[in-house]
């Protein structure tokens, strides 16, 4: 069963099932749903899965949560991993240094880690809607990768319509084309004049707006979300942290029980939250290392206990998926550490005053789990160049992880960093780094030069984007979002 991070308002049920939590992800007082308790996996769970496929591991972890989804539907959802580059290993763990491994999460249809969770999540959510004979509007807000992955998984699904919000000018060209060239009959892609925080705030406001829900209800439509505010995303993000550990065991890089570091480039904190849950379910993790860019709100919070956005302006960087100031999933960590009452107090402070402050003891609890550091674009460019010189090509988000690997480890332990996007999603930035220049490259030009000059594979799904027809060209003020979505539903 699932409970609420800010406590119960006396109107919503005290506990809900997994299917109810993913269909209706907005909890009391603007909070989120979390498991009432994490599954207790048997001591030899990891050893028992040393020869398992990714799908077998995923199935057993989902079963441990006792989710109310039929086995046939779970297996059907997990079969979507067969469409990744390597069906037997959808997210390989690659050795790049003696103690450093890259968990490549970008081998799915949209070339970013969001596919790892959204492919099966979309299948399960749409199957529940169809089974209940209910129609749903799925909202997605994106800084660049959630949007394409959500649109891909929900495309032309029965009983589903999807509206995706993205910040105009706040994504790479490839990410934008992956969205605006979508031709599904059930899709609406809306560019907004604002940043990702504006898009995510709009999404949260719509999820909690009774007026908006009543308007949808007139057409027999219910409301859900594809962002990581939805635990249906998070449950699939727990799995691949288990896979990291099992892969190191398989490669005989560690012995069973040996602890490792996990380094996650973080914006909305969903990916690192999955690692936090995996650790507390039995993966031997020494510590979770959080890498940020110049929007270093998470670094400040973890290092000082203060979350302060009063005078912060969002900085547009070369690692745009991390350009976030209001990070949703820190709430689930805070609930786990401090409980619902305190979580509500802290988020009331944030909502009312744009700041909250942890006590000294609360900060210590947080720092037992996480360490954090941030870097800038110049550092990222240097890392991309030096690692390709040694034979490994990475994107600018992955590059931020190296700062944490180099500076935050207190013990000499094997380290896994998470590569959340393929270089193809950010090719102009990567080419600037490789050529050590500041020229303005078009995405197509950069893709072709990197592919030929550095012998890098260019997937057909990316190269074909530049010949695709743009189907969605709406750019609106953020105040017009609700009106535009209602128009989409009525058409």
3-state secondary structure the chain: CEEECCCCCCCCCCCECHHHHHHCCCCHHHCCEEECCCCCCCCCHHHHCCCCCHHHHHHHHHHHCCCCCCHHHHHHHHHHHHHCCCCCCCCCEEEEECCEEEEECCCCCCCECHHHHHHHHHHHHHHHHHHHCCEEEEEEECCCCHHHHHHHHHCCCCCEEEEEEEECCCCCHHHHHHHHCCCCCCEEEEEEECCHHHHHHHHHHHHCCHHHHHHHHCCCEEEEECCCCCHHHHHHHHHHHHHHHHHHHHCCCCCCCCCEEEEEECCCCHHHHHHHHHHHCCCCEEEEEEEECCCCHHHHHHHHCEEECCCCCCCCCCCHHHCCCCCCCHHHHHHHHHCHHHHHHHHHHHHHHCEEECCHHHHHHHHHHEEEEECCHHHHHHHHHHHHHCCCCCCHHHHHHHHHHHHCCCCCCCEEEEECECHHHHHHHHHHHHHCCCCCCCHHHHHHHHHHHCCCCCCHHHHHHHHCCCCCCCEEEHHHHHHHHHHHHHC
Quick one: 17 exposed, middle or buried, by C-beta within 10 A (0-12, 13-18, 19+)?
middle
Contact present, 461 and 174 (Cβ < 8 Å): no
Q: What is the distance in angstroms between the CA of the first residue and the CA of the last residue of the chain?
A: 37
Q: Has residue 143 got a pLDDT over 90?
A: no
Q: Which two tokens mark 83?
A: 């469409």
Strand order in the sheet with 93-97: 93-97, 100-104, 415-419, 260-265, 285-292, 370-374
CA 146 from centroid of its chain's CA atoms: 7
Determine the Cα–Cα distance for residues 369 and 356; give it in Å rounded to an integer. 19
Share of the chain above pLDDT 70, in %: 100
Quickly state the pLDDT bin for 281 (edges 50, 70, 90).
very high
pLDDT tens digit string along 41-77? 988 999 999 999 999 999 999 999 999 999 999 999 9
Residues paired with 4 in a beta bridge: 33
pLDDT for 24: 93
Q: Which two tokens mark 91?
A: 């997210």
pLDDT for 401: 98
Q: Which pairing describes strands 370-374 and 260-265: parallel, antiparallel, or unpaired?
A: unpaired
Contacts of 39 (CB under 8 A, 6+ apart): 61, 64, 65, 66, 281
pLDDT for 157: 93
Contact present, 346 and 322 (Cβ < 8 Å): no
Contact present, 139 and 224 (Cβ < 8 Å): yes
Determine the Cα angle at 259 with ends 42 and 412, to 5°. Answer: 175
- Residues 297-308 have a mean pLDDT of 98
Token pair 């058409």 in the structure block, residue: 491
Q: Has residue 294 got a pLDDT over 90?
A: yes
pLDDT tens digit string along 367-419? 999 999 999 999 999 999 999 999 999 999 999 999 999 999 999 999 999 99
Share of the chain above pLDDT 90, in %: 94
pLDDT for 285: 98
Q: Has residue 28 got a pLDDT over 90?
A: yes
> How many CA atoms are closer than 13 Å to the CA of 143, on its beta-carbon side?
28
> In 10 A of CB 43, how many CB atoms?
9
Determine the Cα angle at 262 with ends 258 and 265, to 5°. Answer: 175
pLDDT tens digit string along 329-366? 999 999 999 999 999 999 999 999 999 999 999 999 99
pLDDT for 34: 98
Q: Has residue 40 got a pLDDT over 90?
A: no
Phi-psi region of 251 (alpha: psi -120 to 50; beta: other; left: phi over 0): alpha
- Residues 85-95 have a mean pLDDT of 96
Determine the Cα–Cα distance for residues 443 and 440; give it in Å rounded to an integer. 9
Q: Which two tokens mark 32?
A: 């989120």
Q: Has residue 491 got a pLDDT over 90?
A: no
pLDDT for 476: 96
Contact present, 141 and 173 (Cβ < 8 Å): no
Phi, psi for residue 395 in degrees, rounded to 5? -95, 170
Domains of the chain with bracketed CATH: 87-111+232-466 (3.40.50.1100)
Quick one: 487 exposed, middle or buried, by C-beta within 10 A (0-12, 13-18, 19+)?
exposed
pLDDT for 415: 98
pLDDT for 490: 86
Q: Which two tokens mark 43?
A: 């001591």
- Residues 466-470 have a mean pLDDT of 95
């Amino acid at each position: 069963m699932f409970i609420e991070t800010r406590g119960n308002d006396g109107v919503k049920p005290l506990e809900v099932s997994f299917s109810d939590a993913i269909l209706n992800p907005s909890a009391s007082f603007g909070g989120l749903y979390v498991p009432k308790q994490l599954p207790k996996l048997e001591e030899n769970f990891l050893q028992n899965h040393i020869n398992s496929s990714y799908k077998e591991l995923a199935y057993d972890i989902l079963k441990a949560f006792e989710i109310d989804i039929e086995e046939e539907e779970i297996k059907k959802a997990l079969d979507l991993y067969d469409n990744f580059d390597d069906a037997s290993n959808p997210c390989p763990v690659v050795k790049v240094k003696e103690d450093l491994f890259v968990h490549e999460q970008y081998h799915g249809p949209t070339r970013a880690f969001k596919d790892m969770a959204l492919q099966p999540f979309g299948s399960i959510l749409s199957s529940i809607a169809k089974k209940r004979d209910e129609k749903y509007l799925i909202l997605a807000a994106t800084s660049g990768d959630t949007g394409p992955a959500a649109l891909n998984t929900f495309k032309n699904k029965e009983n589903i319509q999807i509206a995706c919000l993205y910040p105009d000018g706040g994504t790479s060209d490839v990410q934008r084309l992956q969205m605006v060239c979508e031709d599904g009959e059930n899709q609406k892609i809306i560019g907004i004049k604002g940043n990702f925080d504006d898009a995510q705030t709009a999404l949260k406001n719509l999820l909690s707006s009774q007026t908006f829900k009543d308007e949808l209800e007139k057409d027999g439509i219910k409301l859900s979300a594809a962002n990581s505010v939805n635990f249906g995303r998070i449950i699939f993000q727990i799995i691949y942290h288990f896979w990291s550990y099992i892969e190191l065991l398989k490669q005989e890089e560690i012995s069973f029980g040996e602890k490792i570091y996990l380094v996650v480039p973080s914006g909305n904190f969903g990916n690192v939250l999955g690692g936090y849950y995996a650790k507390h379910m039995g993966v031997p993790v020494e510590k979770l290392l959080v890498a940020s860019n110049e929007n270093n709100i998470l670094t400040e919070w973890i290092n000082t206990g203060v979350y302060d956005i009063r005078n912060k302006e969002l900085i547009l960087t070369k690692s745009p998926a991390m350009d976030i100031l209001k990070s949703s999933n820190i709430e689930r960590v805070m609930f786990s550490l401090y409980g619902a009452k305190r979580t509500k107090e802290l988020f009331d402070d944030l909502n009312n005053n744009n700041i909250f402050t942890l006590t000294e003891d609360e900060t210590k609890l947080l720092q037992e789990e996480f360490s954090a550091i941030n870097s800038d674009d110049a550092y990222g460019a240097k890392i991309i160049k030096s690692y390709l010189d040694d034979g490994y090509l990475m994107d600018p988000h992955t590059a931020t992880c190296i700062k944490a690997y180099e500076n935050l480890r207190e013990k000499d332990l094997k380290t896994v960093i998470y590569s959340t996007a393929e270089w193809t999603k950010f090719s102009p930035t990567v080419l600037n780094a490789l050529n050590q220049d500041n020229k303005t490259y078009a995405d197509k030009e950069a893709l072709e030069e990197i592919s030929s000059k550095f012998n890098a594979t260019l997937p057909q799904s990316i190269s074909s984007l530049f010949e695709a027809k743009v189907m969605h060209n709406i750019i609106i003020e953020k105040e017009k979002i609700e009106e535009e979505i209602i128009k989409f539903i009525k058409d």
